[in-house]
């Protein structure tokens, strides 16, 4: 399967243990043997290789590696997980998802589920627990004002769990909670690395 539109947080199937580097821990091969997908960590810098992460059963089990684009057999993006039939499961994070969905749908922007909730919705594997946060992404191709960000952050407050929403700008990702705050500069996670910026949508600032 080829695609020119791979984006961070996409889940990809097709990596197998034989393609892992020699230093990969044993749990990485075990996870792949179970048919688990890997997650795209950032936009691909190479036409042939994708920077991906493998997750294990424990929170600290995360392994970064590369996957050949030609090996991808299936791709699921975070936006597709909003309609997963597994969203009815009775975890606090999924109750929160059901509560905030109408708000995000009404924004008119593309959004999706990432993190542990996204992984469970995509695979059915039990990755959520009672203390899990709800990780979301919101595609923001145009500037979202700090006033709008603060209002959205307040609206995402719910009685079930913490919502960690990442704004995906054309230049990288920034936490909604940071952009809604008072700090003059916020952490932008770009393909070239993380940096503090005043405007996560500014090409001029990115080039500086």
94 and 112 in a single domain? The answer is: yes
Residue 191 falls in the annotated catalytic set = no
Q: Which two tokens stand for residue 82?
A: 């909003």
pLDDT value of residue 206: 57
Intra-chain end-to-end CA distance of the chain, in Å:
37
- For strand 49-55 and strand 62-68, is the pairing parallel, antiparallel, or unpaired? antiparallel
Do residues 92 and 130 lie in contact, with contact meaning Cβ atoms separated by under 8 Å?
yes
Interacting residues of 158 by C-beta distance below 8 A, sequence separation 6+: 96, 99, 100
Question: What Cα–Cα distance (Å) separates residue 38 from each residue in 130, 148, 155, 169, 205?
Answer: 24, 33, 31, 23, 32
Instruction: Give the active site residue among 135, 164, 191, 199.
Output: 135
Beta bridge partners of 26: none
**Vertex 147: Cα angle to 197 and 207 (nearest 5):** 20
pLDDT number for residue 103: 96
Residue 27 pLDDT:
95
Determine whether 135 is an active site residue. Answer: yes
Judge if 98 and 164 occupy the same domain.
Answer: yes
Do 156 and 176 lie in one domain? The reply is yes
Considering the domain architecture, whether residues 136 and 44 belong to the same structural domain is answered as no
- Categorise residue 13: left if φ over 0, alpha if ψ from -120 to 50, beta otherwise: beta
Structural domain contains residue 5: no
The residue from 60, 76, 92 where one domain ends is 76
- Per the structure, the count of domains in the chain is 2
SS3 of residue 42 by DSSP: coil
Annotated catalytic residue within 4, 10, 105, 133: 133
187: domain range? 78-207
Alpha helices in 34-174 (DSSP H): 92-106, 115-123, 146-155
| Sequential pLDDT tens for the chain (208 residues) | 444 578 999 999 999 999 999 999 999 999 999 999 999 998 776 778 999 999 988 888 999 999 999 999 999 999 999 999 999 999 999 999 999 999 999 999 999 999 999 999 999 999 999 999 999 999 999 999 999 999 999 999 999 999 999 999 999 999 999 999 999 999 999 877 899 999 999 976 655 5
> Is the domain of 50 the same as that of 141?
no
Sequence-ordered list of residues with C-beta below 8 angstroms from that of 139, at least 6 positions apart, any chain:
109, 110, 111, 168
pTM: predicted TM-score of the whole model, two decimal places? 0.90
Query: Cβ of 47: how many Cβ atoms within 10 Å?
Result: 7
Which pair of tokens denotes residue 58? 């424990």
Q: Do 52 and 142 have their domain in common? A: no
pLDDT at 205: 64
- Please classify residue 80 by burial: count the beta carbons closer than 10 Å to its beta carbon, then call 0-12 exposed, 13-18 middle and 19+ buried: middle
């Amino acid at each position: 399967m080829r695609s020119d539109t791979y984006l961070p947080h996409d889940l990809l199937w097709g990596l197998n243990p034989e393609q892992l580097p020699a230093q990969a821990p044993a749990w990485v091969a075990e996870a792949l043997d179970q048919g688990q997908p890997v997650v795209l960590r950032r936009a691909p810098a190479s036409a042939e290789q994708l920077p991906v992460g493998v997750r294990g059963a424990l929170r600290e089990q995360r392994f970064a590696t590369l996957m050949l684009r030609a090996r991808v057999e299936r791709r699921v993006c975070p936006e597709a997980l909003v309609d997963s039939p597994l969203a009815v499961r009775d975890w606090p994070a999924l109750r929160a998802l059901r509560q905030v969905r109408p708000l995000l749908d009404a924004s008119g922007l593309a959004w999706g589920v990432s993190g542990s909730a996204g992984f469970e919705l995509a695979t059915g594997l039990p990755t959520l627990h009672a203390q899990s946060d709800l990780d979301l992404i919101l595609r923001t191709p145009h500037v979202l004002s700090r006033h709008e960000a603060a209002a959205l952050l307040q609206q995402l407050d719910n009685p079930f769990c913490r919502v960690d929403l990442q704004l995906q700008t054309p230049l990288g990702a920034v936490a909604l909670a940071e952009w809604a705050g008072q700090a003059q500069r916020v952490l932008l996670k770009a393909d070239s690395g993380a940096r503090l910026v005043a405007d996560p949508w500014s090409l001029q600032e990115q080039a500086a």
